């Protein structure tokens, strides 16, 4: 009995010693700069930066693998503070915001069938696009609103997402959550955008949607900076050229080019 007790005690001491040695050999030294940077990050762990959470981003910034401005949530002040911790300069980066590129709500798009499945956009897409006649538009079941980590998206009465400009950080989580690709990130200063994603021919668009782009090219003709072009049956804006003049929005016969600066803009209609 005594021998067994001494034997077990000796093994315990041996294993304890080995664990202590291993802890010293494999110890991970915490980087004080990484800890300082982590305190400045929001802790949302949204993954929009491309790294595994805020701690992963902090470590990447210290290693020089990510910019001090890589977090879209923090803003310019935090980015500058992070740059000061590292003793470097941070390049100014344009803020982005999520926008809905569809106006095809319940009252605008025809139905081919009634959808009685799960309240999920991906499920609806798999089963006949939720019964909607337009196969390009928003399915209106709120995956984006549920995914948004900042509460910036709510669903409107016409089953279209409403995006709060003040709360949206441009993280891109909603863009990834949308199976229809009707949400995109655009530069926040640009207030004119095309709220349609259909590449169907104009004749087909007229049959299924009251507000879809018909590729008439009127917008293209009136744009002096030549910032808008019709490609593959849909108008697209080059934001590096757009000056927010709003001429394209004024002349669009279908009302799918939105000018947020104009009195005609209706947040309830667009989201």
Backbone dihedral angles phi then psi of residue 241, each to the nearest 5 degrees: -105, -25
Element (H, E) at 228: strand 228-231
Q: What is the DSSP letter of 21?
A: H
Distance of CA 256 to the CA centre of its chain: 21
Whole-angstrom distance, CA of residue 174 vs CA of residue 169: 11
What is the domain extent for residue 248? 96-270
CB 160 within 8 A of CB 169: no
- For residues 132 and 261, state if they share a domain: yes
Looking at 86, 112, 129, the residue that finishes a domain is 86
- For residues 247 and 134, state if they share a domain: yes
pLDDT in tens, 47-81: 777 788 888 888 888 888 887 877 877 766 787 88
Q: DSSP letters of 40-58? A: HS------TTSSSHHHHHH
For the chain, the C-alpha Rg in angstroms (whole number) is 26
| CATH code for position 37 | 1.10.15.40
| pLDDT higher than threshold 60 for residue 93 | no
pLDDT in tens, 133-181: 999 999 999 999 999 999 999 999 899 999 998 899 888 899 999 999 9
Residue 19: its pLDDT value, please?
63
**Looking at the 3D structure of the chain, how many domains does it have?**
2
What average pLDDT score do residues 81-106 get?
Answer: 82
Residue 267: its pLDDT value, please?
43
- For residues 111 and 176, state if they share a domain: yes
- For residues 71 and 107, state if they share a domain: no
**Confidence class of residue 230 from pLDDT cuts 50, 70 and 90?**
very high
């Amino acid at each position: 009995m005594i021998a067994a007790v001494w034997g077990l005690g000796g093994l315990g001491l041996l294993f304890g010693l080995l664990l202590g040695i291993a802890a010293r050999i494999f110890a991970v030294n915490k980087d004080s700069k990484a800890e300082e940077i982590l305190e400045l990050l929001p802790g949302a762990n949204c993954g929009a930066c491309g790294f595994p959470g805020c701690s992963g981003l902090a470590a990447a910034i210290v290693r020089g693998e990510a910019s001090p401005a890589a977090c879209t949530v923090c803003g310019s002040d935090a980015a500058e503070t992070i740059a000061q911790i590292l003793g470097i300069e941070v390049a100014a980066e344009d803020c982005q915001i999520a926008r809905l590129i569809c106006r095809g709500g319940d009252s605008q798009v025809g139905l081919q069938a009634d959808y009685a499945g799960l309240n999920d956009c991906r499920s609806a897409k798999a089963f006949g696009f939720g019964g909607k006649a337009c196969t390009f538009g928003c399915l209106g079941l709120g995956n984006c609103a549920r995914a948004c980590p900042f509460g910036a998206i709510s669903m409107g009465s016409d089953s279209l997402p409403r995006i709060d400009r003040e709360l949206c950080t441009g993280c891109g989580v909603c863009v990834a959550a949308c199976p229809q690709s009707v949400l995109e990130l655009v530069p926040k200063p640009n207030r004119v955008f095309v709220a349609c994603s259909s590449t169907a021919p104009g004749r087909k668009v007229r049959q299924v949607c009251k507000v879809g782009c018909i590729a008439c090219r009127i917008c293209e003709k009136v744009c002096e900076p030549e910032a808008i072009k019709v490609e593959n049956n849909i108008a697209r804006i080059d934001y590096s050229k757009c000056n927010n003049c709003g001429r394209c929005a004024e002349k669009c016969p279908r009302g799918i080019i939105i000018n947020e600066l104009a009195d005609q803009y209706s947040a309830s209609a667009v989201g």
